[in-house]
Amino acid sequence: MPETPLPLDLGELEGRRFVCADPCKLCCLCQPECLPREVDFFRQHYPDHLVLKNVPHRHYTLSLRKGQGACSFLHDGRCQVYEHRPHFCRQFPFHVHLGTRVQVELDLSCRGVWLDRGEDAVVHGLRLVRGNEAVIRRTLEEARSVYRQFDSNCREAGLDVDVARTRDQVLSRLDDMTDLRFIAALLESSVEDEGLDIPQLMARPELDSGTMEDLSRSALEMVTDSLAANELFQAPVYCPPDGSWNLFRVAGNRVERHLMDEEGDVRRIEERSLSEIALRQPEGRDRRLLRDYLRVLNGRDSLMGYAFYLLDDYDYEDPWPNVYGGVLSTSVLDLLWRCSLIASFFPGAKEGEWMREGVIFYDMDRLDAPTLGAFV
Ligand code: SF4
Ligand code: SF4
């Protein structure tokens, strides 16, 4: 009997192209997980390059230089096992998320998706899904059972979680979402007990100094969560057009910039006071880019899954729109703060460039966040 077609969404890929933009090699900093057949190959030919990990599940990855740098197969910017590189490396920057359907996301931290060159991303995404259909079908079933449990928990708690309606409500306010006055109101309402009404929410009348202080504090709380890594190599990496690997870490009231090389050696380059990195309202092309990015985020099942994960974490006690509104408002603040961070350390960006660089810095971390469902 023919199998039922996969419920597939490639909407994020429409209108995009992808080509690998040498020489960034940002993806070679992501320790690739190996499939069983890949483990067999590396065990046979390169046993010293395999590492067994037990979290979040038992799996093998390729080793990193000095346990912290780039993949041990990267030499002078070239992959030494290119023909045998793991599945993860082949599919990057595409990620397949499985929740109640199959959705292919594009990692916007990869510079190759900003060049408008190369292969049509929809064609690439479709090939990726077709080539991995068996594992996708298997994992989709597992993800659906997690979602069935989630739906049942929501019903028991009396929560009405309608994804399509929530997304439509956000889309109707997309322009407002790029306005810090609206983000301030969204953030404030999201922490109240009363259910948030996104379509009716009024922006703050103005951005007075108290509002800006509140926003900056919230942004800092968000980013210091990720930038206050104890282990430097766990700090977020920003790869500017020159292909260098910049690690940022918040230490006390300062932000440090470190450079990492292919050997896994790290040296501190400079630092700034946190007070020098001020949130600012995006305008013109930067603002339009933010709007486009928010449209992408709002359509991502993994972001929705992150909000579900938080709802579960809060024991289904918070109103659903407040949780999703909180996720969106803090995402905007995190992104805007990173834009300011980059503008501070890499001045001279033209209009439109600082938002693009902020998204490049932010998106890989965004996709790393916990989610209900799974990436394959
Ligand atoms: S991050 Fe993108 S552009 Fe950079 S090396 Fe990887 S695939 Fe190529
Ligand atoms: S196997 Fe090759 S492509 Fe994959 S991370 Fe290592 S060096 Fe990069």
Tokens of 216: 């900056």
pLDDT, position 2: 67
- Ligand 1 atom showing the smallest separation from residue 25 Cα: 5
Q: Note the pLDDT of residue 23.
A: 65
Instruction: Please indicate whether residue 320, judged by its CB atom, sits closer than 6 Å to ligand 1.
Output: no
Residue 204 has pLDDT above 80, yes or no: yes
Return the percentage of the chain with pLDDT > 70, whole number.
Answer: 98
Per domain, the residue ranges of the chain are 31-89, 140-375
Mean pLDDT, the chain, as a whole number? 92
- For residue 74, which atom of ligand 2 is closest to its CA? 7
Question: Averaged over 42-58, what is the pLDDT?
Answer: 90
Residue 112, pLDDT score:
94
Atom 2 of ligand 2 has which residue's CA nearest to it? 79
**Residue nearest (by alpha carbon) to ligand 2 atom 5:** 28
Output the pLDDT for position 58.
Answer: 87
> Mutation test of ligand 2: which of 73, 80, 84, 237 has the most ligand atoms closer than 8 Å to its C-beta?
73
Q: What is the mean pLDDT of residues 354-369?
A: 93
Q: What does the pLDDT look like over 222-243, one tens digit per residue? A: 777 767 666 777 788 999 999 9
Res 210: pLDDT = 85
26 lines ligand 1 (CB under 6 A): yes
Mean pLDDT, residues 149-164 = 96
> 24: Cβ below 6 Å to ligand 1?
yes
Percent of the chain with pLDDT over 90: 73
219 lines ligand 1 (CB under 6 A): no
pLDDT computed for residue 1 by the predictor: 64
pLDDT value at residue 347:
92
What is the pTM assigned to this prediction? 0.94
